[in-house]
Amino acid sequence: MSGDEVQPANTTRGPLAEPASLRWFGTAAILAVGMIAGGYLLGDGLLRAKDAERAVTVRGLAERDVTADLATWTISYSASSTSLAEAQDKVRRDTQGIEAFFKELGFPAAALQPTGANVTSFTNEGVTTYTVRQRLALRTTDIKRAQKAVARQFDLVARGVFLEEGSGMAYTFTKLNDIKPEMVAAATKDARAAAQQFAKDSNSGVGKIRDATQGYFEVTARDGDTGGWGSADSPYKKVRVVTTVSFTLD
């Protein structure tokens, strides 16, 4: 062999090779973690979407019979004459008769209050006729006494009081807020019962409420007309509410 020895090739990596490899492994690791996280989130999203599809929407009804706690009676009456003074005097006497009528029935004087008056005139062939109208309003929470009064309203006619159209007792239930929570709970319970029937038919269970909508509370006459004209004539009312509820299905 000659004196010049062949040196083996230098296989040691240079100082720049090691950082490049680390960067490559780091990028690969980040991509792997991202793919795993993305797969998990996608799968979880699909599960949530599937759960969202498993729901049922039903309606619940709650009804309650109540008795009005306020009675109002607007009494309109009039008198006509070719003499304005005579018409006014007749209305004045009618007012005294009406006040005496309610006093005899046991109402306090403050329960009856004037609400308005007007005078109109009509001339025919040179003769002018004057009509004087008066309105009194009875307002009371004594429902039974109010019923007795309206049952005897023709006693006023017998006294010469001309009752005009629209003179009638109106009964109102004012304590709706006191029964709202219990009725909403009852309507929701009724909705859950309906949902349970649906779930039973599909071999499922009823879960929690997803969302709910409360309908309007409706107060109508308990008997006869349910709305419109005549619905305020009776003190016996029916309160009704419908709720729409969506339940998840297990």
Is pLDDT larger for residue 202 or for residue 95?
95
- Tell me the backbone φ, ψ of residue 88, rounded to 5 degrees: -65, -40
Residue 230 confidence (pLDDT) above 70 = no
pLDDT at 3: 46
Rounded CA separation 149/171 (Å)? 13
- Would residue 140 be called left, alpha or beta, if left means φ above 0 and alpha means ψ between -120 and 50 degrees? beta
CA-closest candidate to residue 176, choices 118, 238, 105:
238
**Low-confidence winner among 18-22, 76-80, 111-115, 159-163 (lowest mean pLDDT):** 18-22
Q: Which percentage of the chain shows pLDDT scores above 90?
A: 52
> 114 forms bridges with which residues in the sheet?
136
The model carries a pTM of 0.69
Q: Over the range 144-157, which residues count as b (16 or more CB within 10 Å of their CB) and which as e?
A: ebbeebeeebeebe
d(CA 236, CA 231): 10
pLDDT of residue 30: 56
Q: In this predicted model, what pLDDT tens digit does every residue of 103-120 receive, in sequence order? A: 999 999 999 999 989 999
Beta pairing, strands 236-249 & 206-214: antiparallel
Residue 166 near residue 149, CB atoms below 8 Å: no
Give the per-residue pLDDT at 54.
Answer: 79
Q: What is the pLDDT of residue 2?
A: 44
- Average pLDDT along the chain: 81
- In this predicted structure, the answer to whether residue 96 has a pLDDT above a threshold of 50 is yes
Task: Phi first, then psi: give them for residue 27, nearest 5 degrees.
Answer: -65, -40
Beta-bridged to residue 65, according to DSSP, are 238
pLDDT computed for residue 222 by the predictor: 85
Residue 25 predicted with pLDDT over 80: no
Q: Averaged over 219-233, what is the pLDDT?
A: 67
Single-letter residue type at 62: A
Contact 246, 212 (CB under 8 A): yes
Predicted pLDDT at 164: 86
168 band by pLDDT with thresholds 50, 70 and 90: confident
Angstrom distances, CA of residue 160 to CA of 38, 96, 97, 148: 90, 12, 9, 20
CA angle 171, 172, 173 (to 5 degrees): 135
Contacts of 55 by beta carbon, 8 Å cutoff, 6+ apart: 210, 246, 247, 248, 249
For residue 1, what pLDDT is reported?
A: 43
The tens digit of pLDDT for each residue in 1-14 reads 444 444 444 444 54
pLDDT (tens digit per residue) in 40-56: 444 443 344 445 567 88
Chain centroid to CA 162: 40
**Rounded to whole angstroms, what are the CA distances from 158 to 79, 95, 147, 154?**
15, 14, 19, 6
What are the tens digits of pLDDT across the range 121-159? 999 999 999 999 999 999 999 999 999 999 998 898 888
